[in-house]
Amino acid sequence: MFAVGEADTVMSGNGKGKLFVVSGPSGSGKSTLCREAIKRTNVKVSVSATTRGQGKNEVDGRDYYFLSRAEFEAKIAADEFLEYAEVFGNYYGTPAEPVKEMLGQGQTVILEIDVQGATQVFEKFGAAMGILVLAPSAEEIKKRLAGRGRDDEETIQKRLAKALWEIEQAKNNKHYRYTIVNDDVERAIDEMVTIFNK
């Protein structure tokens, strides 16, 4: 695990890598933007771990590391996560070692994580750069959440409330240096690519 200040040492000078933290509420389209931006750049994405069930089209180690609750909690106890949080009854977290290795090799790495987890990362990585992805409006967030067909109305309302809270938290965090409003997907992807290539 990183000692205080070690993370920034890994990222500074000598061709070492850069770390971007991409956050955005459910329905903002951050996953789509990240996926497409990764195809157009040399950035590496950190694979998160989770205790939620594996989707039928998901591959362990590519989409997530799927862990049991006991496995996840053992890794928490061993301080093996850069950040973690419990969201809607499931744990999500970023394994620290792969990120450290990629940065040490001079690669640009992105973490696609929520604002709660990002706050933990910014405490360890003062040089990390945050990118906040937003839908054009709260109404659009609700429409996108409903359009997924995965949640009932009560869950959609909970996700919408959390989304609005996340936006406020991120806007008050100086580490979010960039904001992308995802009202036009191609333009938003181009904007993200430009940021990654800086």
pLDDT by residue (tens digit) across 4-51? 445 444 444 344 899 999 998 877 889 899 999 999 999 998 999 999
Beta-bridged to residue 121, according to DSSP, are none
Rounded (to 5) percent helix, strand, coil in the chain: 45, 20, 35
Contact assessment for residue 173 and residue 130, using Cβ atoms and an 8 Å cutoff = yes
Does the predicted model carry a pTM greater than 0.85? no
For 39-48, write each residue's pLDDT tens digit: 999 999 899 9
